Structure 1
């Protein structure tokens, strides 16, 4: 089967006057009907619009390919429309369309996937497209297609391509970000849309905060062409042994989905091999900075539930207690307060060992977990050789920084033990993970942490004393810097650096820093939402509709809601959001607001210190950001 087998001169309209999507679809459907293969025109039209609702079928270079699978289609067919003047098919399409190809296939047929793939390959030839634009008659148009298809594919049938991939998904993907809240699902959606646009069947597994969803099966893995892993934390990869695998950052999944899918389909991706029952090192080169960032974020993402759940519970204890009963025992004076503080402490007090444990696990897999946890305990207690010599197992806690260090040291210690024992007799393979790694790793991390804890304790105490001694102006400046950092890349490394600093301050008892960080992160989506609401002529209809969602995302402290707007217009959106976030962070510090939970948005406002002024700080920054953004944006002439 060839493309010309699906076309006829009656199903091609050249230089036909149409002005919008509705007219385009109506004309193309009338051309499809000439094939006599559509039993229910209304049902087919509904299927076309349903597909457009998922994502625009605009391909590139002024070419759009509306398509639908429907039970009312008895056999595959094509229709072609070349409008008299280019048409803006969808508001968000990169440019107007000058060629339309509509595909109709039965519901039990995947021919459209491979037909799309063949057409896209042909349409990449600029000379071919130019000939389509200048063809005088439908017959000449058909001849141009036939000649190009013959030149590129010879006698190869579309159906022949279909048989090789008739079952399963051609490309599989896994997406994961450190917090598992926004980037994970944004990357999954981008990959899914890119697959539909390119005609590449794709399934995406998401490793988010709510657990793993849409899990890839062994059968799907065996049948696919390759796998894309777009993740900023470690995911389970041993199951992909023997398959072509691309390792990429989660941001690449959001911004470069088509490039990733096309690379898999190119066949130039290295085959991934697992070693010793656990993932081998990634075949693609990865910078040292990103490797460290990935390990750190693996620890942070596992630590957050302990900090959030425990921190909110402890905050509730102070909310429900009576300070007048015993000021020295505030938080434990009443039974309900004692309950919340005790339960909260059961989680919050172990945030440092959890952080250390999962950094180590990210580096050395499961053997690193116990060693990292023990290192985190030693970092938390500040245990050192001098204290042990006098019978004291506790010292000055090294805090967050010591736990970070212990996690990395523990992970690479276990990796070193794996390396030096890998040539032991095979008969001892069972002893290595059960005895050598945990015992040797535990003793080594104990020596290291007891040696460096005094220094880490001094550093941690110095940072705490510096934060506590900061005057009004200095604290306001710190709040402005941290708030602004939350908007620089909205979930990226700079944002995460500010967030990690806030969490570290939280662990040290500086609750005002965390308050400034969270309010700064809430501003970007809210500023954009306000601008789309009160300055609608600055935005497209689609941007205005999506702006409403940003109210929810901003109030929930999901900064990533602003990413699509920042990506589309970074020179205006980013400076506006940074200024707005800096204003909110500075005001939060000025008003003395505090926060014991590192996440939650408006849901943790009841446990915020000075909540009324915290709302004022948030509103002020959001309004400032919205006003600046609206002044910078040009009024659109194509919207009403």
Structure 2
């Protein structure tokens, strides 16, 4: 997004006859409200006035920038007005203003508009740009003023060593932060000095100073109106610690007089751990839900994509080797299964043998098993890594370990805490539970656990903040890790119990539908459930119900495995729908998203729903709703066509096992070539229709919101 794209003709006014600051604010707020760019005029105005009460937004040089970050803003934009006569704005330079930019933004539109707003300072500091705006009579004149590139020619650093370095930061991280940065660069360049300025603004820390930069600098200026991160870098160094206002108007003098006036002080030594307990180590970090989730997903994504693709290779190899067909009940493999695995209380040996063989599809060939082991290991780390980095993003390095443990316990990874076997090191926590209830909560439990882990670390860190320096090692290496591990383990043990009961209840409801032979309704419900949380607890309930039908846990009706067929088809829709949408609606996706979605073709084909999780986390409403629509329709077709599946996994690799009961349900009819061919054909149709439905809904929805300004695609 370019800066000029934030200016709109309907909220740009030239040579207005307004007499006071209050009139200007009311005028611009009314404009934004009448053009439906803000949802609540009073709420937005209150936010503007609150910001004005904290410090003047009069930047100097006749410019005022009232601004607010508020969720009532529907379309981020800049309302502009030039005045016939300058008015008082309590500006930093005590001069009246005649150019006012009202910035209306929110926290929902990503980096694109924040980057554009940061660029505004580069224009506003240029006299020629100010003059062009004062002469502007139409919106075309305003837009044309932005066509001239604004670049400050910096002095090159010698051997990577900068003469002047600094940090700028203001409370909202939009205006003063970048204005101070631009002015310090301008002043240093004017003096013939090389310069590097770190900004700690709304977009996070940018142009970060290294310890080498700090050690080699001749001048260090810290211009800020809030606490700074990373002060440990400056311990014992001579610095000028001042405000953004001082840097904007007196920056040249600060540079020239560095070390010669009382403004130059020695920065206190601060440990890296104390540095973490700063202004940004606060409860505010917990409210940044989207950013926290994105941080976790970005670290999780390689595990999902790489693990899923390699697991799919294992399935392909097993299928090519002919292992999609159940072998006869002879040979060493059968003997091992019969003597070591077979439940001898069961009567139907053939069914049990078939279920075991297909349940372990991807492992029968030695080569397939080699790939499947890699894929399963990668996929196994998905939830723990997601939870670990969500927690890490909120509270820093101390949150990494308890967050990781929260993910492991939520997903049951490793089987130490939760497992069917209750012997030795397997299922140790399961022995404490009075009933055989599923306890895994999937990636949703991982996300909840990550927040709990972060809250525990936050409380411990604040509680131990006053420890003497000599005890910091014990605090950081022993006390916080041990207590946070115990705390998150106890929390997850408690959280997984109600979630386990919830899963159990839903599973019993689905079993009732199957028992009543409500196949169409059952198929629709399972298709819907598989798409609600893409690998989360609801998805897992539907899938576990499907596997129960394969193992005989839902009865011996010949059509009961419609449950498994509907669950697998529904689970294939989210990744396939996203992949198709990125091809058919290319302008609605970023380049990075389109590249990532290519892997979803293979993941969807092999029933790896988790390929949709990274996309759902960044856009939960559109992805979930469109996926649920596609999954429901797919499930309806599968249930209505009485398509059965005797394998619990595999995607396209197990399509030869599909059958349709439309021609009859006797063993001879179900095992005929016609039933198999009909089952495969109708199953493919169900998946194609569901994928098209999801891709179409998602694509048109995103396109509509892009046109309305509700969604910004930043490449």
TM range (shorter): 0.3 to 0.5
Greater Rg over alpha carbons, structure: 2
Q: Name the TM-score, length of structure 2 as normaliser.
A: 0.42
Q: Name the TM-score, length of structure 1 as normaliser.
A: 0.46
